[in-house]
Structures are given as C-alpha cells and as structure tokens.
Amino acid sequence: MAPAAAPLFVIVAGEESGDALAAGLIKALAARWPGARFAGVTGPRMRAAGCESMADVEALSLFGISEIIGQIPRLLRLRRHLHHEIRRRAPAVFIGVDAPAFNTRLEINLRRAGIRTVHYVCPTVWAWREGRVRHIRRAVDRLLAIFPFEPAYFARHGIEARFVGHPLADALPVHPDADTARAALDLPAAGPLVGLLPGSRGAEVRRLMPRLLATARWLTARRPDLVFVVPAANPRMRALIDAVVADAGDGLSIVMVDGRAREVMRAVDVLLLASGTATLEGLLAKTPMVVTYELSQANYWLARGLDLIKTDVVSMPNLLAGYRLVPELLQHDANIAALGAWVLRLLADSPARQRQIEAFDAIHETLARDADARAAEAVSELVDDSA
C-alpha cells in the first residue's frame, strides 16, 4: 500500500517525557513532510504541535507493578480501541514512544496487519526483564535509541536500533549559568543550595519526601546555612509535598518552586533526587548529585523474587558512564546519615564533585546529536521504503 503524498503518522506516547519527545519528532516530521497529518495518544506538547488526540497521555501514566495490575482491564480496552482505530486509518508509520508495556503488543498487532512500526526510546531490556527482547523483535521495524550503548545490544538480538541522540542534550546548554538560574527563581545569589527532588508521581513523593526532609534536617544540624529548593512537578504534587513539609519541615529553610525543575537543577549546588528521568536532566545541568529510591515493599519483593533487575546500577549517569559515577543509595541503603554525608562531600570542592562534573560534560557531548531531525529521518526512511 503506497502512502499518500501527505502521510498520516500515528504516535502513542506515555507520560510527560514521551509527550515532549513525540512533540519534537512531530515538528521535525512536519518539516520533512508538508501537510503530514498526526494523531495518537497525546499530551499538551503533542497537541500544540498539531497532533489530533485519540486519547490523553495521562491514560498511560502509571507506575509500579501493583498499580499497573489494578488498571489492566481499562488498559486492555484502550489498546483494543486504538488497534481498531489505527487499522481503520491505515497510517504510513505507527510510532510508539516509550510505554513499552502498552505499546509493544499494539505494535505487534499493527505490524502483523502490514503497518510499519517504530518504537522511540528503547525498552530497557538490558536492565530489566530481558526476556521482553523476543517480543520487541516481533513488534518493530526500527528502534530509535536515545543512548549510545543500545544499538550494539539490540543488534545481538537481531533488532535494528538507530542511535539518534537525546533531545534534552540538544535543548539544554552545555555550560549552564547557575547565577542566571538563581536570579530567575528569586533564590539567594550567594550561599549553598541543595535541590530536593522526590519524583513526579504521588507514590514516589509519599515514600521519598519524608526521607529527603529527614536528611535535610541532618544536614542543617551540620550546615545551618543550607537552603533547600523543592520543585513540584504539578499542582497535585505541590499539594502532596506541602503536606509533608507542613508535617516534618519545621525549622528547615525550604523554598518551594512550582515546576521549573530544570532551572532549579541549574541553580543549586547539589541534587538529592529520586532515580529516574530527573537524573539525566541533572547530569545535563552539570550539577553533582546523590541518587536515592525506594520501591514499595510489594514492588521490591516482586522485582527481587522474580530476578527482574539485570544491572548493578539504576541511575542514568551511571548507566551512561559505564561505572558508578554518582552514589546510589537505594531501599534499605538509603539511610539518612549516608545520604547526608554524600551531600556534604559534594558541596565541598572535592575530587568527587569535580569527577562528576567532568564526566557530565563528556556525556552531554555524546548525547547531543540533533535528535529530533535524526529521528524524523529514520522514520521517513520507512515511509520512503513503502512507497
């Protein structure tokens, strides 16, 4: 089936980060294909870029094994609806952006029906549930990799993965200006600042924020001059954080910021943050960090009992460096004294601080590859091939 001169691209994104990736790809595809049409599971950035919404990205914004299990019936209904509607529209290419638990089965079924499929952001089978790789091989014509070590891994499994770079590395400055960020946020121009980032999901905030505040109290006892800056991802997270601060933040010097997490990362001297996308953003901000995390007991024991975790490190700086560049204090190792001691070490002009900053510079250079344009080129090749 030859595509129309102005092809239709259907894109299903998961979570806020997927919305941002997809929006950049839409703009780059629109530049290559004037008049191209876009539809899919969208967030606000995708809609602003001209993508018709078949469902909202919030429908896929789930976290944790137990939470996903409770939503399985609804997710299956949504996937069946999308499969039927996408086949009816017959796009030139279907693009799943992240959300592999949802997108992989959809991609398998669409590819079986003759629709070309791309998955943007390689599923982390090299770290978690490696057995999924056989499903990915059936699901996609091409993977778009945002990290340089991924193509070689997938090639060993007979899957083409194209390294396109990471859009964040293109968007963020190589040499961030902390003074400008402090001024923009009305933060003190002088004096040490520590960023506390408990995550962007309710379950993360409820589990991690009390521990971050306890660490802040431990630090304040040793460094009374410290100011702690806490960005809230959205109004709902702000309300959750405010409640924890009201309960356990008395006597601490805390500045709350609505959104603007990337500016906060540039402004502060050290980050104490949850493992996740924020660790990559902190790396690109060139801010030394201490990474922590705590799964719920149910999710932790499921992961351990089923031997699902395949790497010794979990944060993006360590995965990209190939060694333990930043400290990771997870689960039972995340005790307050250990977290605080690392923050103090990184606040000083120490070898550990300099080592992180120098490595962050090198990684940034590796990731900055004009990702939107390269991803659009890789997708467009499949349209050209099917003509």
236 shares its domain with 145 = no
DSSP state of 167: H
DSSP-assigned beta bridge partners for residue 119 = 96, 143
**pLDDT above 70 coverage of the chain, percent:** 90
306 shares its domain with 340 = yes
184 shares its domain with 328 = yes
Residue 2 lies in a domain: no
269 shares its domain with 374 = no
Give the tens place of pLDDT for each residue, 124-161. Answer: 887 666 778 999 999 999 999 999 999 999 999 999 99
Residues 316 and 289: beta-carbon distance below 8 Å? no
Residues 102 and 121: beta-carbon distance below 8 Å? no
3-state secondary structure of 291: strand
Which of 10-19, 69-78, 203-212, 222-231 has the lowest average pLDDT?
Answer: 69-78
Can you give the residue range of the structural domain that contains 90?
8-165+369-386
Residue 38 lies in a domain: yes
Q: Which residue has the higher pLDDT, 59 or 172?
A: 172
135: enclosing H helix or E strand = helix 133-139
* Structure confidence at residue 2 (pLDDT): 41
128 shares its domain with 197 = no
d(CA 372, CA 26): 9
3-state secondary structure of 207: helix
Residue 33 lies in a domain: yes
137 shares its domain with 223 = no
Place of tokens 């801010």: 287
The mean pLDDT value for 334-343 works out to: 94
Query: Count of CB atoms within 10 A of residue 174's CB?
Result: 11
89 shares its domain with 238 = no
Catalogue the E-assigned strands of the chain.
8-13, 37-42, 52-56, 93-97, 116-120, 142-145, 161-163, 193-197, 227-232, 254-258, 270-274, 289-293, 328-330
d(CA 23, CA 20): 5
Residue 1 lies in a domain: no
Q: Which residue has the higher pLDDT, 323 or 66?
A: 323
229 shares its domain with 101 = no
Q: Is the pLDDT of residue 305 over 50?
A: no
* Structure confidence at residue 310 (pLDDT): 53
Q: Which residue has the higher pLDDT, 293 or 43?
A: 43
359 shares its domain with 378 = no
Residue 29 lies in a domain: yes
* Structure confidence at residue 274 (pLDDT): 92
**Could you tell me which residues come within 8 angstroms of residue 307 by beta carbon, excluding any fewer than 6 positions away?**
none
Residue 3 lies in a domain: no
Mean of all residue pLDDT scores within the chain: 90
Residues 138 and 123: beta-carbon distance below 8 Å? no
> Which two tokens mark 208?
């991690």
Give the tens place of pLDDT for each residue, 194-229. Answer: 999 998 888 888 889 999 999 999 999 999 999 999
379 shares its domain with 340 = no
216 shares its domain with 151 = no
As for how many domains the chain has, the answer is 2
Residues 27 and 373: beta-carbon distance below 8 Å? no
Q: Is the pLDDT of residue 14 over 90?
A: no
* Domain harbouring 296, CATH code: 3.40.50.2000
d(CA 48, CA 26): 10
Residue 338 lies in a domain: yes
202 shares its domain with 241 = yes
Query: Count of CB atoms within 10 A of residue 307's CB?
Result: 9
Q: What is the CA radius of gyration of the chain?
A: 21
Residue 97 lies in a domain: yes
